């Protein structure tokens, strides 16, 4: 297991560097400037601002300085939010994004596995077909559709939940964004669980367990569930990454003070350090999520530990 972790960590370093390099170059060559506004600046003021933030230096010099500061945990100053550094903005928005994404991941895994188990207990029956059709529809719906629809039904029509806002993470403000973010992944997890269980239930050790009199939930929980969850574990890493990045849309729809609003505003205003800082953080978290998924996969299937 230690060898598996070390191999994944070594492979992640060039991946993270490539993401930083590509993001840096794309941001620098994007049209516009963080200092563009409704009233154009005079050349002297523009030159002074570029010099103050090092934007007058050649691209390789800017990249080297950024990597040096990044190695010390410094994401640099924000060019738009002048009173804050990028680190300050990340500290402010990251807990919100992680809360929404974490709850959505738990909901997607828990609900998806539950629905997959319900379907496989009565294979090819009305419940199985109805659940799989519903899960397929959920998988096909993007978050920018589920979010507004849920807000329309449960907030505006029924008045059960607030339309938007945060209120220091009060539970009633979390229900709609978490549900909107979790539903597409829940559908995928349910289908993977159903397919994995159906495949495992045809194996020889399951037939042997049935011959010993084990049936129903006891058979599934003791003999089939662990190997059947391998596809779900493989999907969990990319799903966690998708939920974290997908929270950008949900945070905008439900007016949540997470990293999503900073990404959108930073991209619109060419706030280079802010966008690069958030992209770098997202890339590191995605690598971490995939590493955790690999570790869990190795625990479930000892053959891949190496």
Running along the chain, 306 residues long, what does each successive block of 10 average in pLDDT? Answer: 72 86 84 67 76 81 87 84 86 89 92 88 84 90 88 91 85 92 92 86 74 70 75 83 79 85 80 87 85 75 58
Q: Count of alpha carbons within 13 Å of 196, Cβ hemisphere only?
A: 25
Strand locations in 39-87, DSSP E? none
Distances (CA, A) of 267 to 24, 30, 32, 59, 275: 12, 10, 11, 19, 6
How many angstroms from the chain centroid is the CA of residue 176?
Answer: 17
pLDDT value for 301: 64
Measured over the CA atoms of residue 21, residue 23, residue 26 and residue 30, the dihedral's sign is: negative
Residue 85 bridge partners (DSSP): 77
Distances (CA, A) of 151 to 106, 154, 163, 213: 21, 6, 6, 49
3-state secondary structure of 63: helix
Tokens (6 digits) for 19: 């993401």
pLDDT value for 108: 93
Class of domain 93-258: mainly alpha
Residue 77 bridge partners (DSSP): 85
Q: What is the pTM for the complete model shown?
A: 0.82
């Amino acid at each position: 297991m230690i060898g598996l972790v070390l191999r994944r960590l070594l492979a992640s370093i060039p991946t993270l560097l490539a993401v930083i390099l590509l993001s840096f170059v794309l941001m620098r060559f994007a049209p516009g400037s963080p200092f563009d506004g409704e009233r154009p600046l005079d050349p002297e003021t523009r030159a002074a601002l570029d010099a103050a933030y090092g934007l007058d230096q050649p691209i390789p010099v800017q990249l080297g300085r950024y990597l040096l500061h990044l190695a010390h945990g410094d994401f640099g100053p924000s060019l738009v939010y002048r009173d804050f550094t990028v680190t300050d903005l990340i500290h402010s928005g990251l807990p919100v994004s992680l809360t929404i994404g974490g709850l959505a991941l738990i909901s997607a895994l828990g609900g998806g596995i539950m629905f997959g188990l319900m379907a496989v207990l009565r294979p090819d029956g009305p419940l199985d077909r109805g659940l799989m059709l519903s899960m397929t529809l959920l998988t096909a719906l993007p978050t920018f559709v589920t979010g507004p629809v849920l807000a329309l039904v449960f907030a505006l029509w029924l008045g059960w939940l607030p339309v938007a806002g945060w209120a220091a993470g009060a539970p009633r403000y979390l229900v709609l964004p978490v549900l909107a973010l979790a539903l597409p992944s829940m559908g995928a997890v349910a289908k993977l669980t159903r397919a994995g269980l159906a495949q495992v239930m045809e194996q020889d050790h399951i037939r042997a367990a049935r011959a010993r009199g084990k049936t129903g939930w006891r058979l599934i929980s003791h003999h089939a569930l662990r190997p059947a969850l391998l596809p779900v574990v493989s999907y969990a890493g990319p799903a966690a990454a998708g939920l974290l990045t997908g929270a950008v849309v949900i945070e905008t729809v439900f007016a949540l003070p997470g990293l999503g609003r900073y990404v959108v505003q930073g991209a619109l205003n060419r706030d280079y350090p802010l966008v690069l800082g958030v992209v770098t953080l997202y890339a590191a978290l995605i690598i971490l999520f995939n590493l955790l998924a690999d570790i869990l996969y190795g625990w479930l299937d000892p053959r891949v530990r190496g």
